[in-house]
Amino acid sequence: MNRTLGTLALAALAAASMSQGLMISFGTRETGTSAAIGENGGTSGGIEWVNLDGQTLHTNSTWQLFTFTMATDPLTAFAGTTANGVLDGVAGTIENIRIKNTNISNPIRLWIDDVTDTLNGTDVYNFGTFEGYADGQEVMFQEPNFSGSTAPHLVAGGTAKVDNSVSHTGNASYRLDYQYIDGTAARWLRLTTHPTTQPQAAPTIRYDQNSVVSFWMKAEVVPEPSSMIALGLGAAALLRRRRK
């Protein structure tokens, strides 16, 4: 019976997660860098959103691909006096990944892997594999609460670290644990690569040569203990009804 209750509770939780999602886009800083793809491209220049909130990450614990075509995706000015909804120059950096809430109030666990810039459809630069780093090390992206832009939207104590137990390819990925202060769609996370104190900070990407920036993500909603109790009670009631 306990096994049946557990199965029913997990099924109910999975069904709830399927209906939830996070809106994904990213911000590029127009640094005009001459650095190689994936190398530190600097921290000065305006920031443009690429395809603002245009893609959805479903919180169903599956790896999902997010792609951005730099020449044609819509741009929205975010920060800096030169931000104008147009890409200036031929190269810049990934300044942040924007993760916007829809209706989730519980803690979220999220992984990122294979951050890539592909040129002309054939030249693939996978600079964000997170391989070769120790478990728990902060690489490329700061902890969720770092950015003053979005810290007020988050519960304190979020973490970001290399995870050598989960990956899309290889053996490692980058894991976030964080929580929005409530379940409203106004809440968002600016997962920034600034400043340049951590390895692989401010990675360079191209704007020309038919550049397509991509990364893989997966996420799950972590149930609060009270939610699990409620699911268990609901599963028990369902089981009793089935037995009558």
Per 3-state DSSP, the chain is made up of helix, strand and coil in percentages (nearest 5) of: 15, 40, 45
> Is residue 228 assigned to a domain?
no
Domain tally, the chain: 1
pLDDT along the chain (244 residues), means of 10: 46 54 99 98 98 99 99 98 97 99 98 99 99 98 97 98 99 99 98 93 99 99 67 46 51
> Is residue 7 assigned to a domain?
no
Q: Judging by DSSP bridges, how do beta strands 188-192 and 212-221 pair with one another?
A: unpaired
Residue whose C-alpha is closest to residue 130's, from 196, 199, 190:
199
pLDDT at residue 195, rounded to an integer: 85
- Domain holding 91, by residue range, is 19-223
> Is residue 9 assigned to a domain?
no
pLDDT at residue 241, rounded to an integer: 52
Query: Cα(157)–Cα(170) distance, rounded to whole angstroms?
Result: 29
3-state SS, residue 237: helix
β-bridge partners, 116: 126, 214
Q: Show the tokens assigned to 98.
A: 């924007």
pLDDT at residue 10, rounded to an integer: 47
**Cα 163 to chain centroid, rounded:** 14
Query: Cα(168)–Cα(166) distance, rounded to whole angstroms?
Result: 7
> Is residue 25 assigned to a domain?
yes
pLDDT at residue 236, rounded to an integer: 45
Prediction pTM value = 0.87
> Is residue 43 assigned to a domain?
yes
Long-range CB contact pairs, 68-74, < 8 A, 24+? 68/25, 68/26, 68/212, 68/213, 68/214, 69/210, 69/211, 69/212, 70/28, 70/205, 70/206, 70/207, 70/211, 70/212, 70/213, 71/207, 71/208, 71/210, 71/211, 74/50
Query: Cα(217)–Cα(202) distance, rounded to whole angstroms?
Result: 19
pLDDT at residue 72, rounded to an integer: 98
Cβ neighbours, 10 Å, residue 41: 28
Instruction: Report how far apart the first and last C-alpha atoms of the chain are (Å, whole number).
Output: 15
Given a contact cutoff of 8 angstroms between Cβ atoms, the answer to whether 219 and 22 are in contact is yes
Q: Which helix (H) or strand (E) holds 3?
A: helix 2-18
Query: Cα(179)–Cα(182) distance, rounded to whole angstroms?
Result: 8
> Is residue 6 assigned to a domain?
no
